[in-house]
Amino acid sequence: MNAMELELGLHDWSTLPCRSCKSAEHVPAELLRMARAQTPDEAKPRDIEFHVLQESWATKTAVPVARALMAGLADRSVSTSARHQFLDLLSSFVVVDDDDIAEACKDAVRAGIWSLYEEVLSGRSQDTALFSYWLLLAAETAPARLERLLQVARDLLPEDLYLDTDN
């Protein structure tokens, strides 16, 4: 068992809402499938969009999904392709139209915030580093930590990120 499976087991998914199905009971299998993916195509979420999230509207199921995604990021065996999709979904969850859901998703991000710092500092991928940085901007409560990250990780993030921060 890994951290993601542990988190998934904490929730009764059959009682959580789904926009397209009777319940969100199918969501854990979808998240585990994504976590095992090795290629970008395999890692694409198939039963999250239009189920948990549709454009900027989310069901309350987004909160346990966000917690599971953050737990998945703690697993070093998760591929860069899967990490990219996890971070992309998380980025969507923290800006949904429902302020309560968005804030609860930010709380889930804060609970695993060191995984995001590690993602930026790992040098695995500029794309995952950028998604992680955006999530840190949304959730970090210590601005000095973000400033320090920019000082030490300039070469790990896209150059155009710094155009607005150099003023």
Query: What are the distances in angstroms from CA 70 to CA 7, 17, 22, 53, 141?
Result: 9, 20, 26, 17, 17
Report the interhelical angle of 27-36 vs 62-73 (nearest 10°).
20
Is pLDDT at 162 greater than 80 in this prediction?
no
Residue range 38-96, pLDDT digits in tens: 999 999 999 998 999 988 899 999 999 999 999 999 999 999 999 999 999 999 999 99
Task: Please tell me the distance from the alpha carbon of residue 56 to that of residue 92, in angstroms, as a whole number.
Answer: 7
Task: Please tell me the distance from the alpha carbon of residue 102 to that of residue 94, in angstroms, as a whole number.
Answer: 4
| Main-chain dihedrals φ then ψ at residue 49, nearest 5 degrees | -65, 135
Per-residue confidence band for 167, with pLDDT thresholds at 50, 70 and 90? very low
Beta-strand ranges (E) seen in the chain are: 53-54, 57-58
Task: Please tell me the distance from the alpha carbon of residue 163 to that of residue 77, in angstroms, as a whole number.
Answer: 34
Residue range 8-17, pLDDT digits in tens: 999 999 999 9
